[in-house]
A and B are shown apart, each in its own frame.
Chain A
Amino acid sequence: MARVKPKRQGIHMDMTAMSDMAWLLLTFFILTTQFKKPDIVPVKTPSSVAETKIQDGHLMRITINKDGKYYFSIIDDATKVPVLEKMGAKYGISFTDAEKKSFMKVSEIPVKIGALKSYLNLSDGQKQEQIPGIPLDSTDLQLIDWVEFTMEEDPEVKLAIKGDVKTQYPQFRDLIKQLVERNINKFQLVTSSEAKPKD
């Protein structure tokens, strides 16, 4: 007896719509994405109920890690090199074009100005290991110089301070004290967000 086999119909789905949507989303993400610059200093920020978001441009940042070491970063690419040149002029160091190019890639300045030249010539791997921090005490105020030169270059710049949860208070106080001494009175403390308690 001949059995009538039902004709097998392959399942064909029209993928066009799905792929359309996928590429549309992709375009959106490509256009909106901003690559995170790798943080060379791991910092866990305390949380707060503050709702203001950090701004994108016109920003410089002082990072204090848990050992109380200071790092400085300029967020705007346009001001980076002029500030470096001014710092170089003040401390009598001249930087080559290659070093300036390397400086553009540095997200956080982790060494004192005297050691910056040799730091910039290191390879990326070696840079990871060299993070002694910028010194700050009453005799050596180069961290404050970085801040002042950045403010000269970009008058609208705001200063963000990013501290670790374990940073000891004296480290923070010393920094604030030196900044207030130069009439820099406004700071933005970087925190992670936390829900505001309902009352």
Chain B
Amino acid sequence: MAQIEEKQSNDSGKVRAKKASTKVDMTPLADLGFLLITFFMFTTTFSKPNVMSLNMPPKTPKDQPQIEREIDLTNSISIILGGDDKLYWHQQDKTKLTAEELRETTYTKDGIRNDILAARQRAKNPDNFTVIIKPHDDSTYENLVNILDEMEITQSQRYGIVDISPNEIKVYEEKSGTSSK
């Protein structure tokens, strides 16, 4: 398809050698280039996954008795992650919790986020406000990540993931209607 430019011969009658044009058709070259671009664009990994840091407290040595620190109940909120994406919270002592005081909420914006912020407003000492996350065995990893996400959104600096206590399991099961396995 390389085009050939014809030159008008002049009147002098001299036969000139036809000059072949040096123009090369670039179409296939451009085609190939774009094809390869498309390939690399699709295979390249544009978005790297994000990471969320999670630091757990170091284990306490066995010979050293664990110090039960007194937390003012209004300064903390316990969040219980249940099965089937259910979510509960309370501000009671874990051994004295009753079903009436365990409130159900949701993972939505108006749910737990407002509850955390409201509880922080009520706290006597908002600087020490602590969120205690207690995932039940029925909850999923996604639930945990969502709650950790809420920590980030509500800018709760102090939070911990703690094992759920037997009384809380009992109250949770009473409230949600799931029977223990």
Contacts and interface: CB of A to CB of B under 8 A. Distances in A.
B169 to A, nearest CB: 13
B3 A169 contact: no
A99 B3 CA distance: 58
Interface string A170-199: 111100100011010111111111101100
Contacts of B143: 169
B27 to A, nearest CB: 6
B40 A48 contact: no
B56 A187 contact: yes
A82 B33 CA distance: 42
Which DSSP category, helix, strand, loop or mixed, fits chain B's interface? mixed
Interface string B131-151: 000011111111111101100
A185 B59 CA distance: 9
Contact of A166 (B135, B138, B142): B142
A138 interface: no
Interface string A75-113: 000000000000000000000000000000000000000
Given A33-B43, A189-B145, A45 B33 contact: no
A12 B153 CA distance: 59
Interface stretch (B12-20, B44-52, B67-75, B92-100): B44-52
Interface residues of B, number: 47
Which DSSP category, helix, strand, loop or mixed, fits chain A's interface? mixed
Interface residues of A, number: 57
B54 interface: yes
Given A48-B50, A50-B52, A192-B50, A26 B109 contact: no
A19 B29 contact: yes
Contact of A50 (B50, B135, B139): B50
Contact of B149 (A10, A48, A169): A48
A173 to B, nearest CB: 7
Contacts of B48: 53-54
Contact of A197 (B29, B49, B153): B153
Interface of B: 3, 25-27, 29-30, 33-34, 36-37, 40-41, 43-45, 47-59, 81, 109, 135-146, 148-149, 152-153, 163
Given A169-B144, A188-B52, A193-B47, 18 more contacts: A14-B26, A32-B44, A48-B50, A48-B52, A49-B152, A50-B52, A53-B48, A165-B142, A167-B141, A168-B138, A169-B135, A180-B56, A180-B59, A183-B58, A186-B54, A189-B52, A190-B49, A192-B49
